[in-house]
A and B are shown apart, each in its own frame.
Chain A
Amino acid sequence: MATNALELSGIEAFYGDSHVLHAVTFACGPARLLGLLGRNGAGKSTCMNVTVGLLAPRRGDIFVFGHRVTGLPPEQIAARGVALVPQGRRIFKSLTVRENLVVAARAPTDGRPASWTLETVFAMFPRLGERVNHIAAYLSGGEQQMLAIGRALMGNPRVLLMDEPSEGLAPQIVHEVMNTIRKLKESGLSIVLVEQNPTLVFDVADDIVILNSGRVAVVSTPAKLKQENVDLRQHLGVF
């Protein structure tokens, strides 16, 4: 069996006393796109925080291409080739567009030449190239999202985590972002895409994991879910 790009195994995580992840186990294969779905508070972002090292799990393990990264500090997990496009974008607001990208630059972990540089990021997002010396705080929401994606790519990651990249964006921009994600997947990147909106994810995902109240409720593929006509509202609906 090929090594998984990212594997969470039996993760138990807490915020203070509140138990937010219960034995969460799932894996994203190399060059595959895993859609991680669930309603608000289901634990999707907590999975992201645990994976990048911002929250230490109380039990369980995380593997990146077979290497155990559980409990490593965030900067060392980044060095193993994990990058995050965080919820709410969290770009460095007082830095310029160029600085936001440059501070995250890193050579690929496996010694290949860097495929993501300022030039290639600007080629993918020409609008960022036009605003290279602008302060990031003054970019539009869509531009900030592109910057957050560009910043993650500058680390030349092997696993890309994207936490609700469509949040708060106009439909046209969401469409652009989804096209970008498709291109990144075609380039061979392993991607975990967190979303609340299942229709966006079903278009691009190879695999689907649905979280419900901090537990893995469904592990499947978009095709199977459609074929079985599973009622997603049970897991994703507000009621």
Chain B
Amino acid sequence: MTFWLVLTVNSITFGGLLFLLSAGFSLIFGLMRIPNLTHGSLFMLGAYFGATFIGGYLTLQFDFWVAAVLAALSVAVFGAVIERLLLRQLPGQQMAQVLVTLGISFMVADFCLLLWGGDPINVATPQGLAGFVRAGPAVFPLYRLGVIAIAAAIAAALWLLLDRTRLGAMIRAGVDDPDMARVVGIRVSQLFTIVFALGAGLAAFAGVVGAPILSVYPGLDQDMLPLALVVVILGGSGSLLGSFVGSIIIGFIYNFGQALFPELAYFVLFLPMLLVLILRPQGLFGRFVP
């Protein structure tokens, strides 16, 4: 019983992390139709930045949460630069976008290896969340519950932003009909940069928040990217609800799969993706595009 309970909490925690990672991926793919294969790298870059800020390598030592926000802002700027300087030159050319974003992801990986070396960096759990919560026989790390709360709060904030503000309505109008959106005066090009930067920042934030659990190591990017892809294909691109539900589902499949059928973990992970692609290509909550 305890085993299942702990596994469930771990699944939801991991789902929360996946949501932070994939919400941006989904928005970027849904709004801009850019398959952003640097998304795993942005996660890893955020994690390395965060670890550096927290570890005090820059003479200044930052609080965990300050470091997370700083990492998110830095990577958001990096994302905006990639979007403006590179992806902007390749509108509608998905093959070129795939190659460029894949190329950048290799470069980021090399850059990180050069700067931070090949050894994993462990990041301490932030103060105040280092303890445990006891529920009967089960013991949960407080931090994992904290991650769930943060992911839920950010999900709510994103929903409010997209669903309840004029900016959000403009973004959705841009998804519905980009040309018409421009004709009514919406600066779709600026919105694209904002969305890309927001997605990059969220991925980086997820990287820092995930660091005490996953640690930071070369290859973290390539571990996370397929998960973001699976979540978005499962949930449907451009749908926040889809990312949310998809993340939780994948969180469960990933944790339960690894615990119960470790040798089949990837098979179990990608099987639902294949089924969705065959039976409902737009994803569980995606909009049908004929």
Q: Interface on A for B, CB 8 Å cutoff? A: 52-54, 73-75, 78-79, 83-84, 86, 90, 92-95, 99-100, 102-104, 106, 151-152, 154-155
| CB neighbours of B189 from chain A (8 A) | 73
A54 to B180, CA, bound (A): 9
Query: A80 CB to closest chain B CB, in angstroms?
Result: 10
| CB neighbours of A154 from chain B (8 A) | 184
Nearest A residue to B190, CB-CB:
A75
A54 to B184, CA, bound (A): 12
Q: Which of B173, B175, B185 contacts A79 (CB 8 A)?
A: B185
A53 to B166, CA, bound (A): 24
Nearest A residue to B169, CB-CB:
A99
Nearest A residue to B185, CB-CB:
A78
Q: A75-B188, A79-B185, A106-B185 are in contact. Are A94 and B180 (CB under 8 A)?
A: no
Question: Would you call B110 an interface residue if the criterion is a C-beta within 8 Å of the partner chain's C-beta atoms?
Answer: no
A151 to B184, CA, bound (A): 8
Query: A123 CB to closest chain B CB, in angstroms?
Result: 21
A90 to B177, CA, bound (A): 8
A12 to B229, CA, bound (A): 45
Q: A90-B177, A92-B177 are in contact. Are A78 and B169 (CB under 8 A)?
A: no
Q: Nearest 4 CB-CB pairs, A to B? A: A78-B185, A74-B182, A104-B184, A99-B169
* Chain B: number of interface residues, binned into ranges: 20 to 34
Nearest A residue to B176, CB-CB:
A92
Q: A92-B176, A94-B176 are in contact. Are A102 and B184 (CB under 8 A)?
A: no
| CB neighbours of A54 from chain B (8 A) | 179, 182-183
Assess whether B182 is in contact with A94, with CB atoms less than 8 Å apart.
Answer: no
| CB neighbours of A92 from chain B (8 A) | 172-173, 176-177, 180-181
Q: Which of A78, A94, A100 contacts B183 (CB 8 A)?
A: A78
Query: B186 CB to closest chain A CB, in angstroms?
Result: 6
Q: Which of A52, A75, A103, A152 contacts B169 (CB 8 A)?
A: A103
A233 to B36, CA, bound (A): 54
Q: A86-B180, A90-B177 are in contact. Are A95 and B185 (CB under 8 A)?
A: no
Query: A3 CB to closest chain B CB, in angstroms?
Result: 22
Assess whether A75 is in contact with B173, with CB atoms less than 8 Å apart.
Answer: no
A79 to B184, CA, bound (A): 9
Question: Would you call B287 an interface residue if the criterion is a C-beta within 8 Å of the partner chain's C-beta atoms?
Answer: yes
| CB neighbours of A53 from chain B (8 A) | 182-183
Q: A94-B287, A95-B172 are in contact. Are A104 and B185 (CB under 8 A)?
A: yes
Assess whether A74 is in contact with B172, with CB atoms less than 8 Å apart.
Answer: no
Assess whether A84 is in contact with B183, with CB atoms less than 8 Å apart.
Answer: yes
12 residue pairs from A and B, CB less than 8 Å apart: A53-B182, A54-B179, A73-B189, A74-B183, A83-B184, A92-B173, A94-B175, A94-B176, A95-B172, A104-B185, A106-B185, A155-B184
A174 to B188, CA, bound (A): 33
Question: Would you call B187 an interface residue if the criterion is a C-beta within 8 Å of the partner chain's C-beta atoms?
Answer: yes
Nearest A residue to B166, CB-CB:
A102
A152 to B187, CA, bound (A): 16
A-contacting residues, B154-192, CB 8 Å: 166, 169-170, 172-173, 175-177, 179-189
| CB neighbours of A155 from chain B (8 A) | 184-185
Determine which residue in A78, A103, A106 has the highest number of CB atoms from chain B within 10 A of its CB, and name it: A103
Assess whether A75 is in contact with B187, with CB atoms less than 8 Å apart.
Answer: yes
| CB neighbours of B180 from chain A (8 A) | 86, 90, 92
| CB neighbours of B172 from chain A (8 A) | 92, 94-95, 99
Query: B100 CB to closest chain A CB, in angstroms?
Result: 23
Nearest A residue to B177, CB-CB:
A90
A90 to B182, CA, bound (A): 12
Given contact pairs A95-B176, A102-B166, A155-B184, enumerate 18 new A-B contacts (beta carbons under 8 Å).
A53-B182, A54-B179, A78-B182, A78-B184, A78-B185, A79-B185, A83-B184, A86-B180, A92-B177, A92-B181, A94-B287, A99-B169, A99-B173, A100-B173, A102-B169, A103-B166, A103-B169, A104-B185
